[in-house]
């Protein structure tokens, strides 16, 4: 207990107490107890929830919907690409190791720096993405600065962040691949199984626990994403790329409204826990 004491004290001071205090403040306002008023106001605020524009009109759709769109696009692409790349690099010659290092570089890059990189990748005059699309004859806004248009800002952030996270998925899947008995693949080859059959019927099922872990951790990262958006677009243009964590920052440190900020933080938790439970518990048992 003597050795656990300092750690438990730090855990209480910096995790448990702030979490309880945040939950308490989310049900308060400057006059005292407010019940669910803060949460009702959130869903009445178009900056948080604006489904009337989704999907027929361009963003903003509200920070909550932006987070969910981020999950729907970023999660399958990141997890799927990480799995495929792990399999490809496992069978590739050693000299292509530099490509694996380049992909893994994204996960060790500070997210603030990653936001700056994304911003300049999609910049109108110097960004490589608009330049390539412009050379192919793609019209604006796709061949212009993505971060300057509501049609493209959110998608640009999502696609740019794939490089920053796919290395994490690739490394974990590579570690899982090393634990699979090579004799399984040798037996499949003797039986005439194709590369695709070996991948689909051996690799994918045996890596399922690893894939679920990667999916859960990626999901939590997507729901609390902040730094990339803050640096690249500050939620603009016209809040077309804002997310829940950024709105929490605006409420707490710009509007100086701890009650609204706490309500948004609680909302992030309420959204995260059921999704994380479904991925981590239900899918593992299935």
Question: Which pLDDT does position 279 carry in this prediction?
Answer: 66
Question: Which pLDDT does position 83 carry in this prediction?
Answer: 92
Question: Which pLDDT does position 136 carry in this prediction?
Answer: 84
Q: Which CATH class is domain 36-285?
A: mainly alpha
pLDDT(258) > 80: yes
Question: Which pLDDT does position 106 carry in this prediction?
Answer: 79
Q: What is the C-alpha separation between 219 and 240, in angstroms, rounded?
A: 21
pLDDT(248) > 90: yes
Using one digit for the tens of pLDDT, what is the confidence trace for 9-58?
Answer: 888 898 889 889 999 999 998 888 888 999 999 999 999 999 888 888 98
Question: Which pLDDT does position 281 carry in this prediction?
Answer: 66
pLDDT(113) > 80: yes
Question: Which pLDDT does position 286 carry in this prediction?
Answer: 56
Percent of the chain beyond pLDDT 70?
96
To which residue do tokens 């677009």 refer?
233
Asked if residue 81 lies in contact with residue 163, where contact means CB atoms within 8 angstroms, the answer is no
Q: pTM above 0.85?
A: yes
What per-residue string of b and e applies to 252-271 under the rule 16 or more CB within 10 Å gives b?
beeeebbbbbbbbbbbbeeb
């Amino acid at each position: 207990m003597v050795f656990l004491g300092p750690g438990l004290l730090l855990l209480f001071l910096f995790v448990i107490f702030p979490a309880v205090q945040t939950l308490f403040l989310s049900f308060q306002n400057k006059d005292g107890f407010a019940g669910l008023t803060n949460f009702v106001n959130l869903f009445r605020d178009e900056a948080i929830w604006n489904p009337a524009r989704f999907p027929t009109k361009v963003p903003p759709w509200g920070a909550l919907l932006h987070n969910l769109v981020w999950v729907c696009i970023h999660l399958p692409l990141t997890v799927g690409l990480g799995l495929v790349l792990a399999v490809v690099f496992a069978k590739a010659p050693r000299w292509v190791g530099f490509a694996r290092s380049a992909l893994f570089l994204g996960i060790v890059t500070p997210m603030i720096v990653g936001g700056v990189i994304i911003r300049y990748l999609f910049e109108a005059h110097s960004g490589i993405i608009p330049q390539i699309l412009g050379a192919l004859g793609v019209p604006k806004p796709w061949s212009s600065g993505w971060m300057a248009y509501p049609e493209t800002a959110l998608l640009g952030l999502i696609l740019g962040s794939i490089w920053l996270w796919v290395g994490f998925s690739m490394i974990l899947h590579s570690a899982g691949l090393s634990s699979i008995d090579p004799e399984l693949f040798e037996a499949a080859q003797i039986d005439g199984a194709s590369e695709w059959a070996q991948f689909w019927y051996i690799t994918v099922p045996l890596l399922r626990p690893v894939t679920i872990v990667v999916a859960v951790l990626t999901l939590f990262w997507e729901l609390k994403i902040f730094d990339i958006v803050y640096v690249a677009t500050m939620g603009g243009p016209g809040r077309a790329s804002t997310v829940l964590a950024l709105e929490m920052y605006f409420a707490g440190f710009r509007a100086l409204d701890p009650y609204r900020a706490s309500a948004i933080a609680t909302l992030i938790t309420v959204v995260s826990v059921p999704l994380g439970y479904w991925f981590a518990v239900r899918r593992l048992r299935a």
